[in-house]
Amino acid sequence: MNPGRPAAGEYLAYYGQYINRVPDGNILDQLAGQFEKTCALLAPLSAAQANFRPQPADWNMSEVVGHLADTERVFGYRALCIARANPIPLPSFDQDLFVASANFSSRSLTALLAEFTTVRQATLAFLRTLEAEAWLRQGVAADHLISVRALAYSIAGHELHHVADFRQRYQV
């Protein structure tokens, strides 16, 4: 099932920075392939590299990988609730608070990548079950309307955003 690219009215303009990064094609194929590339890019890094911060206040790479997993969990939960026609508005989340509270730096990059892999596999397992109408359902998350397919594209684009950052600012 390829739900197609979300229309601009299906998400807050802010998410366009992520959605627009996602190439054309089947979003499920994109999600399945890109995380493997991300893990292959990061797996060879040393502990020192994983703890590198471009600036003192920046997250290190381990924290970013943890952030990717946590954000995907949140977006995946939103997609689940909306796909299942739950009418209750879903809360926002504070990504900085999540990272500060998670202590990702105390964990190995290998363990964080394994967790990210598990989260992505769960996301894909869920998304692969959706019928056409569920992909198009919209609900309120963080006080804004969003569709299930926009959430899937946001997951993919969010990862692509951070991979570009790894290459540019973290010099991976």
Say whether pTM exceeds 0.75.
yes
- Identify whether 1 is part of a domain: no
Q: Which domain holds residue 161?
A: 8-168
- Identify whether 38 is part of a domain: yes
Confidence of residue 142 (pLDDT cuts 50, 70, 90): very high
Q: Are 6 and 19 in contact (CB under 8 A)?
A: yes
Nearest in space to 108 (alpha carbons), one of 69, 65, 74: 65
Residues 6+ apart with CB under 8 A from 40: none
> Which CATH number does the domain housing residue 31 bear?
1.20.120.450
Q: What is the pLDDT of residue 76?
A: 98
Confidence of residue 82 (pLDDT cuts 50, 70, 90): very high
Q: What is the pLDDT of residue 1?
A: 84
- Identify whether 76 is part of a domain: yes
Q: Are 83 and 148 in contact (CB under 8 A)?
A: yes
**For the chain, what percent of residues have pLDDT higher than 90?**
99
- Identify whether 3 is part of a domain: no
Distance CA 138, CA 83 (A): 8
Q: How many domains does the chain have?
A: 1
**For the chain, what percent of residues have pLDDT higher than 70?**
100
